Homo-oligomer: A and B are copies of this chain.
Amino acid sequence: ADSWLPTLKTDTPEQGFQLAIKMSRMGVKTAQPNMDVLKKGRAEYSNDAEDLIQVSHVVATNFATVAAANNYWK
């Protein structure tokens, strides 16, 4: 099957940010593959300011990795 993460390489910082979001989501999906549970969870965190701040923190941590992998798109 195709890999969901064939490379860390992206053409632009914005694509890199999208990849960081995907990695953050996969960090959850691999721990909890059940879509119903994930949908219920989404309803919770997506309406909770504190949770959304934590989501942004995970994206920031993954984006740091993607940015370094792309040499900051210099």
Contacts and interface: CB of A to CB of B under 8 A. Distances in A.
Interface string A40-74: 01101111111111111111111111011100111
Do most interface residues of chain A lie in helix, strand or loop, or is the interface mixed? Answer: helix
Query: Which range holds the interface residue count of chain A?
Result: 35 or more
A68 to B, nearest CB: 7
A24 B5 CA distance: 19
Q: Which residue, A23, A30, A49, A68, has most C-beta atoms of chain B within 10 A?
A: A49
Contacts of A24: 56, 60
Interface of A: 3-8, 12-14, 17, 21, 23-28, 30-32, 37, 41-42, 44-65, 67-69, 72-74
